[in-house]
Structure 1
Amino acid sequence: MTEVSRSASASSALSSEERLLAAIAYGESSTRDLYEEMAALASVMVRQMKARGYSTIDAFTSKDKNFSFVRADGNARYAKLMKATEKDIEKSPPMSDAVKAARNAFSGGVDFSNGAYFWDGADIKSNYKHHAKVKSGIHITDPVHNIYGISDSGKTKILYKTVKKKVGGQVKTVREEVGRYSWVYESTAGVGGTIFWRYGRDWVTVTRAKEYR
């Protein structure tokens, strides 16, 4: 991105929603400061906001505090952008890119997350054995996504339901298969220091889960 285009992306007046989303994307992204990573994070936030029925990022992150922790956990990058003047932002290529990323997400621009609803940073490798997603079952759909060189943890699971059937003139209780799945999360992208995920289609079908919860 050139200095001219970067400056232009952050030159117009910054709304409170754009600043908040930019700060979240900046705070959640790795220190590699890649525009594509911040844009992907911003796209996930907007997708989740809409899916959960919120009209603003502020309302979403104020009510669903467990989705993005940077507003409350003392994240320095988040705080830096929230406190920065617009001139400070224009002078900072990474913060300018964060603003551009927020505007891209709000306008329905390029989604570098490829339809993700969730993400993970380096902790999925450092805390692999105890990571909640790993325990649930993950599947890397493309080697390009595997920026941390982690292994799939999926195992085939079968869900059953108990029904009563007439067998040989007698009513018996039997188990019938409802369906099966091999993982809960499947990767959609690996950008910068972030792996992006969505629920596996088999898991959604079998459990009738919502894609965003």
Structure 2
Amino acid sequence: MRVFHALDGSVERQDSGLWINSLDYTGMQHITAHAPEINDSIRTRCQDHLPFCGFPWLLPVKFLIKKNWYLPAPEVSPRSPLEFQLLSREETTWGSVKMTFEAKGPSHMSLYLRPHAGTSLSRWSFGDGTPQFDLNGEYFIFYSHGLDAPAWNFWFEIQPHEPSEVFTDEGMISLALSAHYFSGSDRSSEQLESLLKKFPDWAFASSWVSTYHMYRY
């Protein structure tokens, strides 16, 4: 399930489907004979204006996997859905905007940050406090926890390049958070299991359920 939010927090659009990545250089050409619904008509391309192409990457390897397919499917309803909120937003005396967030979700989550043109990340609550590993203008943070973990709280500061610049239409940054379900009843769906049964014995398919929620600030 993917949900895209506008600057005011309203839902712009949403969809749900089976997102398929091929780790084989031949793509899915040898699988289509077994699962005809996986064909070039559902090939998807990276939407560069969205954090990590608008899909729930578990790891920052989108540059390694160039062929993806997105087969529409009914929406999933995890028992522990992602809960996400902006706790505070404040302008600092040095001209940046500090935003603090809280996330509650499964044991594995991926956070993607994409500063908009005219802005940059100056500080954050991860590591030594200095944003690192800029991936072509994007940042990736992987988070995992054990049982009965508290809510995940984090913050970052976004710095306009020009102090007088006003960001009204699209905001200063796009943020997306993916929740990954690897265990229990949430890790699969009826449609996913049905598709996996069509794969030949010589193919290995690794699967789980993820959700992707994108926001602008």
- TM class by smaller structure: under 0.3
Larger Rg: 1
More strand by share: 2
More helix by share: 1
TM-score (norm 1): 0.26
TM-score (norm 2): 0.25
